[in-house]
Structure 1
């Protein structure tokens, strides 16, 4: 039995953990990315799907919080499923998570280049300049993550603080200035716009989802990634208590603030010409209501928020690749499991994630519908991850290790039922024919993963894919918060 030493310092507190969850979710990113698609497919009335989506995602966050309090180890669903169901299923979950993190960072950064900068600097956005700008943003985020985890968190903490202040100020100003100038039309909140009212709430057919059903993608794409706080469990103080709290608070705060912002933007959009035809509808509304100067200042804050979101995704992706490589279960694991002595970061894993993001960007950016395809893939994959993890929790909840930080208690069954119903409904939306490109991405990545897993099992045998038993997890929980070691220090390998 060989002991593996902890190589990353446990130094993150509650606000850093909250900032990671809040920064990944980033309502600025999600709304700026998907609002135009919602207007096109569901009309202004589509914003009422948001609170339902928030409730569904909150149920998932509560389940993830219960798991994070029991198994506080980097790699979240990969680690949880590996230990509770089995290493092969855990590996599959880890690979799907990797595919998600690779595409979502591109979707987030592409938002800056395609929806905000053209409005901010008044130039015509094209697939070519969006590609170049996004590639530069991805590279800069990787550099920050590679140089220093502490610096990354300082940047993210500052950006999240700015996002909180900026989004609150933006929402208040839209309501106040819009009311003063008469540009708010609350009746617009209930209109369907160019979408026919007949059959609006229908479920759709075998290969198409109804208009209102498609509106749920706004919340499903935005309120996602809160579990990234669990991916930094080995760097968080008292993770069993801090991480569940951070995830739930991030979903609630973002849900409320995001809905108020949607109401303000949509009410203002009713009396502004050309919003539905704009490639950047949210930015168009902000500039029209608040004026060019104030609008641009607030758009700069939104750019910072979105950059922070991509930064957290990059950080989370590197930690997942590092965790799987440390277990010798990722392609090139010998290089990717290394912690750089100078930066104390998984430098090779960071470079790898950056290269993967650049490849995905090159594939999707040739399409004129690149943003829609990217955010669709980045919504489908987490839904699959969430569904698998919730199903695992439901099946194995009685055999889970004890929690010392967070428990669902008597609400466990209602929360599980709510999460399951929401996830089934969300996944059924992706039967719509417009999601063919995201499905192709998912199938290609899963095919590559299946080949590697088969090679891994053939070369090393299924028995080699063992994971530490639950006693190791219990011991990690006992020491969490009292000693500067993480779960990795408690892990033993056969």
Structure 2
């Protein structure tokens, strides 16, 4: 397949390059470099990540938890560089699934796509559900399960309608979400640091009793979940590869910019919040159960806080929008290779909007059903959503491992972005980071809870993998398509 690689590298025509990879696209290349970057940024969503997990991270690890944003940012930057090499050579819509297919083979690709698809659907539900309390805070009423569910369903509905509008509308919505989120992060961070700072930078090196009498290392590792849950989203830039001009060159740039800008925004708003907290001991002890609201109310007043929460809601909506776009492209990519049940429908396109409407419908209905389960059992929602983040990390590391395997078997990335001699060490470092991060996310930390709750993340991930393997070896979806597979590795 070396001839194919050279065609992809040399041609400047996106359609011809895609045809050389075995596909004719029905998507329109209406997404600019900034639109592609905005899609990844709003999926990563620093505001959603920081505001959702700030209380947990600060209460668990104290102010030093902010350094986890640096550590995880560097780790995910390594992963994004590996992804950049892959998408540069194989700029095909769908991301995880087609990359795994070209790097390793059909079975590996099916499992990587299966795990990542379910993780995306659960994450859409999680993000949409997380918007509910902020609606209540913005409008001034006490959130309930009913109000949160209604708000979550509204977020999914709006995101779906925007996605059905086509690539241009998706691009505009992503850029608007990016601008609002970045402006909100900068304004909040600057205001807190210049007018409501309660501590000096030295506070970032003191635990203030976090971890209690036990090991602080354990407490810090638990607090790093804020970074681990934050730094993914760059992969979405590659999910829409067939909607971007010159994707081999542009998408790797977008991926790295997502990490740079998203990481800087996350650290800035987190720094402002940390140094504005009046009493770290109250947060660590649980006496201040919502330090974010405490800080914002003190700094901005009632009206200003509601405006900030309005920006936060835009961030939640933009994040759900980007997640849904990524999930629908993944399913459509699966379907056009006839690798998933319902392929006939999931592969279809709207000729008017050039989007996969049935795949978008699945990316709306499944998360909505997950959310509705909370009206029956809040624990059911927790059990489903607990898999989301670790599932994404598993999907990512399946690509990193496949890239390392292919590299050791002779793969030399031939796209317009390549790490050159640094490819192997970066690949190894990205794999080590990702495996350790997944272990940290799944580590049981609630010994007083029932064993199945303590091991909930591991059990949920194991269930998804086992079900996927059973389907893979009984239904044999990998045998339904003769699309190229494993061609990254040179033929002997």
TM-score range, shorter chain: 0.7 to 0.9
- Is 1:295 matched up with 2:305? yes
CA distances 1:342-393 after superposition (whole Å, capped 9, x unpaired): 3221111111111111122234565667897676433211211122111111
- Is 1:121 matched up with 2:132? no
Match of 1:407 in 2: 418
Cα 1:169–1:85 shift into 2, 3 Å: same
CA distances 1:171-204 after superposition (whole Å, capped 9, x unpaired): 111111214xxx44655434435633444344xx
CA distances 1:283-321 after superposition (whole Å, capped 9, x unpaired): 332222222222222221121122101100011111111
- Is 1:216 matched up with 2:224? yes
SS of residue matched to 2:90? coil
The alignment covers a number of residue pairs equal to 460
Contact residue 31 and residue 167 of structure 2 kept, 8 A: no
Contact residue 74 and residue 323 of structure 1 kept, 8 A: yes
Contact residue 80 and residue 256 of structure 2 kept, 8 A: yes
Cα 1:161–1:263 shift into 2, 3 Å: same
Match of 1:140 in 2: 158
SS of residue matched to 1:124? coil
Cα 1:467–1:201 shift into 2, 3 Å: farther
SS of residue matched to 1:255? helix
**Aligned pair partner of 1:154 in 168, 172, 184:** 172
CA distances 1:410-461 after superposition (whole Å, capped 9, x unpaired): 322332232122122212211215463333433343344334323432xx7x
Match of 1:353 in 2: 363
**Aligned pair partner of 2:397 in 387, 390, 393:** 387
TM-score (norm 2): 0.86
SS of residue matched to 2:31? coil
CA distances 1:73-95 after superposition (whole Å, capped 9, x unpaired): 11212111112211011000000
Match of 2:51 in 1: 32
Which shifted more, 87-96 or 393-402? 393-402
Cα 1:272–1:50 shift into 2, 3 Å: closer
Contact residue 177 and residue 290 of structure 1 kept, 8 A: no
CA distance in 2, matches of 1:388, 1:357: 24
SS of residue matched to 1:330? coil
Contact residue 221 and residue 375 of structure 1 kept, 8 A: no
Contact residue 217 and residue 379 of structure 1 kept, 8 A: no
SS of residue matched to 2:229? helix
CA distance in 2, matches of 1:427, 1:259: 22
CA distance in 2, matches of 1:373, 1:289: 36
Aligned 1:160-171 pairs, distance under 5 A: 160-171=178-189
CA distance in 2, matches of 1:236, 1:400: 25
SS of residue matched to 1:73? coil
CA distance in 2, matches of 1:399, 1:119: 56
- Is 1:111 matched up with 2:111? no
Aligned 1:84-483 pairs, distance under 5 A: 84-114=103-133, 116-179=134-197, 183-184=198-199, 186=201, 188-193=203-208, 195-202=210-217, 210-271=218-279, 276-277=286-287, 280-363=290-373, 376-397=386-407, 399-400=410-411, 402-429=413-440, 430-434=442-446, 436-457=455-476, 463-468=479-484
Aligned 1:41-80 pairs, distance under 5 A: 41-80=60-99
CA distance in 2, matches of 1:263, 1:370: 34
Structure 2: any 5+ residue segments left out of the alignment? 1-18, 447-453
C-alpha deviation, 1:470, in angstroms: 7.3
CA distance in 2, matches of 1:71, 1:463: 22
CA distance in 2, matches of 1:437, 1:314: 25
Match of 2:10 in 1: none
Cα 1:178–1:33 shift into 2, 3 Å: same
Match of 2:450 in 1: none
C-alpha deviation, 1:271, in angstroms: 4.2
Match of 2:9 in 1: none
Structure 1: any 5+ residue segments left out of the alignment? 203-209, 475-494
SS of residue matched to 2:224? helix
C-alpha deviation, 1:219, in angstroms: 0.6
Contact residue 120 and residue 392 of structure 2 kept, 8 A: no
Contact residue 103 and residue 357 of structure 1 kept, 8 A: yes
Contact residue 34 and residue 218 of structure 1 kept, 8 A: yes
Contact residue 44 and residue 192 of structure 1 kept, 8 A: yes
Match of 1:480 in 2: none
